[in-house]
Amino acid sequence: MSSVIGYYTTKYGEIWNKSLFDLVEEVMIGVLKTTHIEKEQIDAIFFGNMLAGVLENNLHASAKISEILGVHIPVFRVEAACASGGIAFHLAHQYLASHKDETVLVVGAEKMNDYPVETITDALMAASSGEEQEAGLTFPGLYALLANTYMETFHYTEENLAYVAFKNHYHGSLNEKAQYQKQILLETILKSPYVADPLKVLDCSPISDGASAVILSSSSSLIKKNKNTTRVLATEVATDTISLKNRKSLLELAATRIASEKAFSKTKLKRKNIKVAEIHDCFTIAELFAMEDLGFWKKGEAGKRIKELSTMLGSNSDLIVNTSGGLKAAGHPIGATGIKQIGEIYLQITNQAEKRQIKHCQYGLAHNVGGSGGTAVVTILGS
């Protein structure tokens, strides 16, 4: 059984004075310092990144990271589009299952703002099918197809989507590492310009630079030595078709549902045991889907339930969602997101979430999605 024993993240946003590997160096050094661990105590490194190859002909991160830290240990770069961070964490946990008494660094990073938005929009389409690329679709376009199907089927309007952004921007205002730290009024969200009908600018997560890192350990002495630790109770992965047109249903992300069922079945926890969740809200509609696919709310119910704002900090409900601000307000540096989600749950469970702290938080869940749902990772942490 491995435990998260430390977390460090850069602020997310537009970071003009650092390269991708400057950010990687910052969080590796940062998390080692925070946890008082020497680099010699690290046995392997898992690294999640999506776009450095496409954007800047920058691959072979294993050797680049080896050079930065001055180590010869195994370094593994994994890529699963926007789930790259979650997959890196998953494989690190698998690795420790057969490496007792070892400790690994898990790092995610992305550098996006050095390129024009059109370049980024095209590059992100690498996570979709060739056919969807050729059809001129974009990720806002793909999620707009899902949003329209959902809204038509269950009779919702754009207002139902907007509540997700409203809540998550409020949470972002409490997180000094968030890209956007300002509350946004519901009417501002509803008046923002369309990107892909029905999704507006303020339904979309931004383009972000940033890196995040956690230390994961199976060493009982190291876990005991650190006062802030939380166990990994489950981390499960499922996949689905790359193309939306080949899905059985456009009213769910099946990969999320399958990964979630596996994770809850492994931990034997009930949904109501989860007090805090970081959910993959790349677009507002994605949080509504996820609340249903993860099993927190019934299918078709999310549009209504979100308006109660029961998942917002300050509510007395059982479950608060995206206290970091989510991808929507905290930002979405692709490869880093999955690590930041786990880091936020770690902060909550170990009582380090400051202004965003939830009371009596024993169990939390992180949910990371690749593309339009082709990959999903569901991780449950608990003390």
Which one-letter DSSP state was computed for residue 231?
E
In the complex, what is the shortest distance from the CB of residue 312 to a copy of itself, in angstroms, rounded to a whole number?
32
**Which of 89, 95, 143, 180 lies at the binding interface for a copy of itself (CB under 8 A)?**
95
d(CA 152, CA 78): 37
- Catalytic residue check, 82: yes
Name which of 106, 67, 58, 116 is nearest 85 in CA terms: 106
Residue 359 CB partners (closer than 8 Å, separation 6+): none
Name which of 129, 113, 90 is nearest 240 in CA terms: 129
**Which of 63, 185, 186, 201 lies at the binding interface for a copy of itself (CB under 8 A)?**
63
Which residue number, 95 or 297, has a Cβ lying nearer to a copy of itself?
A: 95
Task: Choose one: 50-58, 143-151, 194-202, 342-350; the region binding a copy of itself (CB under 8 A).
Answer: 50-58
Which residue number, 74 or 308, has a Cβ lying nearer to a copy of itself?
A: 74
Task: Choose one: 35-43, 81-89, 267-275, 290-298; the region binding a copy of itself (CB under 8 A).
Answer: 81-89
Residue 156 binds a copy of itself (CB under 8 A) = no
- Catalytic residue check, 367: no
Q: Quickly tell me which residue has 């689905």 as its tokens.
A: 240
d(CA 263, CA 244): 25
Q: The tokens of 212 are what?
A: 């995040």
Q: Quickly tell me which residue has 């029905």 as its tokens.
A: 198
Residue 94 binds a copy of itself (CB under 8 A) = yes
In the complex, what is the shortest distance from the CB of residue 91 to a copy of itself, in angstroms, rounded to a whole number?
6
In the complex, what is the shortest distance from the CB of residue 173 to a copy of itself, in angstroms, rounded to a whole number?
32
Q: The tokens of 197 are what?
A: 């009908």
Residue 130 binds a copy of itself (CB under 8 A) = yes
Residue 42 binds a copy of itself (CB under 8 A) = no
Residue 123 binds a copy of itself (CB under 8 A) = yes
Question: By the 8 A CB rule, do 253 and 154 touch?
Answer: no
The one catalytic residue in 90, 169, 280, 332 is 332
The one catalytic residue in 82, 204, 282, 361 is 82
**Which of 34, 62, 148, 310 lies at the binding interface for a copy of itself (CB under 8 A)?**
62
Amino acid at 123: A
Question: By the 8 A CB rule, do 63 and 76 touch?
Answer: no
- 232 - beta bridge partners? 381
Is residue 330 within a helix (H) or strand (E), and if so which, with residue range? helix 326-330
Which residue number, 79 or 287, has a Cβ lying nearer to a copy of itself?
A: 79
Instruction: Give the C-alpha distances (Å, rounded to integers) separating 18 from 31, 111, 133, 219, 331.
Output: 18, 9, 31, 34, 17
**Which of 104, 125, 282, 290 lies at the binding interface for a copy of itself (CB under 8 A)?**
125
Q: Is 66 helix (H, G, I), strand (E, B) or coil?
A: helix
Q: The tokens of 372 are what?
A: 């339009």
Task: Choose one: 32-40, 89-97, 200-208, 338-346; the region binding a copy of itself (CB under 8 A).
Answer: 89-97
Residue 128 binds a copy of itself (CB under 8 A) = yes
Residue 371 binds a copy of itself (CB under 8 A) = yes
- 370 - beta bridge partners? 375
- Largest separation between any pair of C-alpha atoms in the chain: 57
Question: Which positions from 229 to 258 touch a copy of itself by CB under 8 A, shown as an x/- string?
Answer: --------xxxxxxx--x-------xx--x
Which residue ranges make up the site for a copy of itself (CB under 8 A)?
Answer: 50-51, 53-54, 57-67, 71-81, 83, 87, 90-91, 94-95, 97-98, 122-123, 125-130, 133, 237-243, 246, 254-255, 258, 370-371, 374-375
